[in-house]
C-alpha cells in the first residue's frame, strides 16, 4: 500500500476555497448585480461626457437604488434593523434633490461595489469554513454478491461492508470488521496524531486512512453521521447571538434618530448639502453589523477543526468571561476506569508471576477490576493461561484452578473466609485492593485506582493563566479519594459524595454574586449540572448523540487540554470583536466625520473610504481561521 504523507492529507482537508469554489459563489443573481453596477457606472460616465441626458441618469440611479431601497424598507419594517442601505438611500435621494447628480450617482455606485464585495467575502468565509472542516466522499466501494461495486453514498445500506484504502476518506460511520490502518481523525476529533484502527474499532465519515486498508461495517450514512452532525452544528451555531452581538444590533437600532438630529443641527449651521451627504456615509452603522458575525463564524469553525463544538456565539462570549470552573472527577480529571497502580509482593513471587496468576483467575470475569488486571498483564506481554475451573463469588472475588492449583483473587475478607492469612499492611482508603493467593498462601496484592489524566495538571495551569479565578472539583466519589486527587492537581476546593441534585446546588452556590460558572463533565450523568452552569462542557463525546445535545460545548476527545484550547479561542474571538468595534467602526468613522466637518473630503471620497472598515473587519475576523493553538512541549524519551 502506498504511504500517503499525513501533512499532505491535512493540507487537502484544510485548504481554502479554490478558484472553482470561488466561481460557484458567482450565482446568476450576483452576475445580475454586477451587470446593474456596471450599467449604472457607464450611464454616469456618459452623462458626465454629455452623451446622455439627465432623465437617463436619473432612470439609471432609480434602477441601481431600487434593490438598496427595498432591502432598507424591509429591514426597517420587519426587523427594525438599520443598515448601510438606509443611509445610502437617504444620501442618494438628498443628493438628487439637491441637484448633486454626479456625486449622488457616484456615491451609489461605490457603495453598491462595497456592499457586493462585503457580501461576497462573507460567503467566501462560509465556504472557507466548510473547506476547513473537510468533506465526505459522495461514493463508496461496497462489497456485494457480485464483487466490489462503487455506488453513490445515498445507496449504501446499513450493515454493508465498505472498503477504504490508503489515502482515501472514510465515507460512513461504522465498525472495522477486518484490516488495520492509521487513520487521521482530525476532522472529527482534532487529534494531531493518526489513530491505529483494528477490528472492532469505531471509525467516522470524513476521516482519512493514511496507511493500511479497512473493511468497515456501515452503521450510519449521510446526515446521520457524526461528521454531518458537526457540520450542521457549525452552520447553525451563528444563529445563537452573543450578548455583544445583540448589543451591536441595539446600538444600530437607536443610532438613526441620534444621527438624524446631528445632521439637522449641522444643516441649520452650515446649509452645506455636500457635507450632509458626506456625513450620512460616515454615520452609517454598517460595520457594527459586520463586526461580530464574521468573528463568531470563524471562531466556531476554528474550534470545530480542533475537535471542539461550540453551540453558538452566546457560549463563545460566556466562555471567554468565565470566572469559576467546576470539574467532575471520574472520566474528566481522571481516566474513568480502574488501573493497576502498584503491585505489592509477599514472599519470593515476582511481579510478572503475580500478574499472570491474577489475570488467569480474572480473565473470565466481567468486573471492571478484573478487566484492569488482565489489561496490565497483557501490556507486559504476559502469556495468560486459561483456567480449568472458574467461579465468581459476588462481592468477594473469584475462585479458579490454574495448572492444577487452586487460586483465589479478591478482597481481604474473601481470603480470610478461605483461611488464607494476609500480612499486615497499611490501609489505602482511596484504592481498591485485590489479594491473590495460590494453594492457600497469599502471594501479593494489586492496588487499583482511577488514575489522574496525564495532562490534567498542565491543563489546569493553563486555565488559571487564562484568568480563571477559582477551580473546584465536584464528585460523587468518597472524600478520601477526592481530597487526594484535588490536592495533587492543586484545585481550590473539593466537594465529595455528591448526588446529581447536590452538584446542581453546588453550581448555584458558585454562581452567587453573578459569577459566571462553567461545568465540565461527561455530558450524560452530569447533565443537570451542565444545564445549570452558564456554560456546560462535555468531554469525549465522539459518537455520542445524547452527550453532544446535552452540553453547550462538546469536546470530541478525552483530551482535557481542549478545555484550555476552547477558552483560548473564545478569548481571542472576544478580543477580535472589540478590535473590530474600536478600530473598524470607532476610529475610522470618527476620523471620517471630523474630515467631513472640516470639509477635507466630499461624498465621493467618503464613499471610497467607506470600503476601508469593511475590509479591515473582514481581514481581522478571518485571521481566527488560522489561529495556532497551544502545543505541549515534547517529553524526552
pLDDT at residue 89, as a whole number: 84
- The H-or-E segment that residue 70 falls in is helix 54-74
pLDDT at residue 17, as a whole number: 43
**For residue 357, is pLDDT > 90?**
yes
DSSP annotation of 169 reads B
- State mean pLDDT over 309-314: 80
DSSP annotation of 389 reads E
CA nearest neighbour of 342 among 311, 308, 304, 376: 376
Q: Is the pTM of this model over 0.75?
A: no
Alpha-carbon distance of 409 to 19, in angstroms, equals 67
Q: Which residues pair with 401 in a beta bridge?
A: 389, 406
CA distances from 160 to 27, 174, 198, 212, 213 (A): 39, 10, 18, 20, 16
Alpha-carbon distance of 115 to 222, in angstroms, equals 36
Alpha-carbon distance of 464 to 468, in angstroms, equals 5
Percent of the chain surpassing pLDDT 90: 26
CA nearest neighbour of 205 among 213, 196, 216, 195: 216
- State mean pLDDT over 555-574: 90
Average pLDDT, the chain: 81
DSSP conformation letters of 222-289: GGGSHHHHHHHHHHHHTTS--HHHHHHHHHHHHHHHHHHHHHHHHHHHH--HHHHHHHHHHT--HHHH
pLDDT at residue 14, as a whole number: 38
Contact 275, 200 (CB under 8 A): no
Q: Which grid coordinates are listed for 163?
A: 472498503
List pLDDT tens digits, range 265-291: 999 999 888 888 888 777 766 555 666
All residues at 6 or more sequence positions from 510 whose CB lies less than 8 Å from its CB, including other chains: 324, 326, 470, 472, 517
pLDDT at residue 215, as a whole number: 93
- Catalytic position from the list 173, 328, 534, 559: 328
Contact 477, 456 (CB under 8 A): no
pLDDT at residue 636, as a whole number: 45
Residue 588 pLDDT grade (very low, low, confident, very high; cuts 50, 70, 90): confident
Contact 353, 282 (CB under 8 A): no
**For residue 365, is pLDDT > 60?**
yes
What is residue 345's three-state secondary structure? strand
Contact 368, 338 (CB under 8 A): yes
List pLDDT tens digits, range 400-430: 999 889 999 998 889 988 998 887 665 555 6
CA distances from 609 to 100, 107, 112, 167, 601 (A): 19, 11, 14, 48, 10
DSSP annotation of 582 reads I
Burial of 481 (0-12, 13-18, 19+ CB in 10 A): buried
- State mean pLDDT over 233-256: 59
Alpha-carbon distance of 332 to 347, in angstroms, equals 38
Q: Which grid coordinates are listed for 496?
A: 465529595
Alpha-carbon distance of 475 to 491, in angstroms, equals 13
**For residue 164, is pLDDT > 80?**
yes
**For residue 323, is pLDDT > 90?**
yes
- State mean pLDDT over 230-253: 59
What helix, strand, coil percent values describe the chain, rounded to 5?
55, 20, 30
Known active-site residue 328: yes
**For residue 451, is pLDDT > 70?**
yes
Chain-centroid distance, C-alpha 442: 52
Which of the two residues, 112 and 343, has the higher pLDDT score? 343
Alpha-carbon distance of 362 to 387, in angstroms, equals 9
Q: Which of 66-74's residues contact partners 24+ apart within 8 Å by CB, and which partners?
A: 67/33, 67/36, 68/108, 68/111, 68/112, 68/115
Contact 135, 206 (CB under 8 A): yes
Report the largest interatomic distance among the alpha carbons of the chain, rounded to a whole angstrom.
Answer: 116
All residues at 6 or more sequence positions from 18 whose CB lies less than 8 Å from its CB, including other chains: none
Alpha helices (H) in 491-536, listed in sequence order: 500-510, 527-532
Where do the domains of the chain lie, and which CATH numbers do they carry? Answer: 137-224 (2.70.150.10), 307-335+453-560 (3.40.50.1000), 339-449 (3.40.1110.10)
Highest mean pLDDT among 71-80, 283-292, 465-474, 517-526: 465-474
Alpha-carbon distance of 637 to 634, in angstroms, equals 9
List pLDDT tens digits, range 468-506: 999 999 988 778 888 889 999 999 999 988 878 888 899
Amino acid at each position: 500500500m502506498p504511504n500517503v504523507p499525513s501533512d499532505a492529507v491535512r493540507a487537502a482537508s484544510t485548504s481554502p476555497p479554490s478558484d472553482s469554489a470561488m466561481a460557484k459563489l458567482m450565482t446568476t443573481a450576483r452576475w445580475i448585480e454586477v451587470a446593474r453596477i456596471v450599467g449604472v457606472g457607464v450611464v454616469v460616465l456618459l452623462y458626465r461626457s454629455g452623451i446622455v441626458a439627465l432623465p437617463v441618469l436619473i432612470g439609471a440611479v432609480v434602477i441601481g437604488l431600487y434593490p438598496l431601497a427595498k432591502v432598507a424598507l424591509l429591514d426597517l419594517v420587519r426587523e427594525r434593523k438599520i443598515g448601510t442601505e438606509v443611509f445610502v438611500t437617504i444620501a442618494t435621494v438628498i443628493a438628487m434633490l439637491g441637484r448633486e447628480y454626479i456625486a449622488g450617482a457616484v456615491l451609489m455606485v461605490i457603495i453598491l461595489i462595497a456592499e457586493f464585495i462585503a457580501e461576497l467575502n462573507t460567503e467566501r468565509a462560509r465556504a472557507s469554513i466548510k473547506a476547513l472542516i473537510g468533506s465526505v466522499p459522495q461514493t463508496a466501494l461496497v462489497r456485494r454478491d457480485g464483487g466490489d461495486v462503487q455506488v453513490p453514498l445515498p445507496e449504501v445500506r446499513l450493515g454493508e461492508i465498505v472498503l477504504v484504502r490508503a489515502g482515501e476518506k472514510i465515507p460512513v460511520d461504522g465498525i472495522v470488521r477486518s484490516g488495520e490502518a492509521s487513520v487521521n481523525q482530525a476532522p472529527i476529533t482534532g487529534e494531531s496524531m493518526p489513530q491505529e484502527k483494528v477490528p472492532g474499532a469505531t471509525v467516522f465519515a470524513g476521516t482519512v486512512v493514511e496507511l493500511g486498508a479497512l473493511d468497515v461495517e456501515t452503521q450510519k450514512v449521510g446526515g446521520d453521521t457524526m461528521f454531518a452532525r458537526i457540520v450542521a452544528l457549525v452552520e447553525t451555531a451563528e444563529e445563537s447571538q452573543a450578548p455583544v452581538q445583540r448589543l451591536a444590533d441595539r446600538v444600530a437600532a437607536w443610532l438613526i434618530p441620534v444621527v438624524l438630529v446631528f445632521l439637522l443641527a449641522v444643516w441649520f449651521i452650515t446649509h452645506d448639502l455636500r457635507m450632509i451627504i458626506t456625513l450620512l456615509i460616515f454615520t452609517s452603522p454598517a460595520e457594527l453589523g459586520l463586526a461580530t458575525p464574521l468573528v463568531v463564524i470563524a471562531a466556531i469553525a476554528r474550534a470545530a477543526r480542533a475537535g471542539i463544538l461550540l453551540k453558538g456565539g452566546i457560549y463563545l462570549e460566556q466562555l471567554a468571561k468565565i470566572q469559576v470552573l467546576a470539574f467532575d472527577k471520574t472520566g474528566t480529571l481522571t481516566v474513568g476506569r480502574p488501573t493497576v497502580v502498584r503491585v505489592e509482593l509477599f514472599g519470593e513471587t515476582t511481579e510478572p508471576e503475580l500478574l499472570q496468576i491474577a489475570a488467569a483467575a480474572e480473565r473470565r470475569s466481567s468486573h471492571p477490576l478484573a478487566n484492569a488486571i488482565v489489561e496490565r498483564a497483557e501490556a507486559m506481554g504476559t502469556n495468560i493461561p486459561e483456567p480449568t475451573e472458574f467461579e465468581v463469588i459476588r462481592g468477594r472475588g473469584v475462585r479458579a484452578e490454574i495448572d492444577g492449583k487452586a487460586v483465589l483473587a479478591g478482597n481481604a475478607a474473601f481470603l480470610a473466609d478461605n483461611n488464607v492469612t494476609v500480612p499486615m499492611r497499611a490501609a489505602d482508603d482511596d484504592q481498591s485492593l485485590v489479594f491473590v493467593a495460590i494453594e492457600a498462601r497469599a502471594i501479593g496484592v494489586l492496588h487499583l485506582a482511577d488514575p489522574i489524566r496525564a495532562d490534567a495538571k498542565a491543563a489546569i495551569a493553563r486555565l488559571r493563566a487564562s484568568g480563571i479565578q477559582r477551580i473546584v472539583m465536584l464528585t460523587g466519589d468518597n472524600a478520601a479519594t477526592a481530597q487526594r486527587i484535588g490536592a495533587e492537581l492543586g484545585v481550590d476546593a473539593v466537594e465529595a459524595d455528591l448526588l446529581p441534585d447536590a452538584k446542581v446546588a453546588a453550581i448555584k452556590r458558585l454562581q452567587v454574586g453573578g459569577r459566571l460558572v462553567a461545568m465540565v463533565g461527561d455530558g450524560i450523568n452530569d447533565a443537570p449540572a451542565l444545564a445549570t452552569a452558564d456554560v456546560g462542557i462535555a468531554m469525549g463525546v465522539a459518537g455520542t448523540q445524547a452527550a453532544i445535545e446535552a452540553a453547550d460545548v462538546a469536546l470530541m476527545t478525552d483530551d482535557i487540554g481542549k478545555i484550555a484550547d476552547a477558552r483560548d479561542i473564545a478569548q481571542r474571538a472576544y478580543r477580535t470583536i472589540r478590535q473590530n468595534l474600536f478600530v473598524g467602526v470607532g476610529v475610522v468613522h470618527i476620523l471620517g466625520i471630523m474630515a467631513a466637518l472640516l470639509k477635507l473630503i466630499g461624498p465621493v471620497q467618503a464613499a471610497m473610504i467607506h470600503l476601508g472598515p469593511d475590509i479591515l473587519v473582514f481581514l481581522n475576523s478571518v485571521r481566527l481561521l488560522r489561529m495556532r493553538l497551544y502545543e505541549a512541549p515534547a517529553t524526552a524519551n
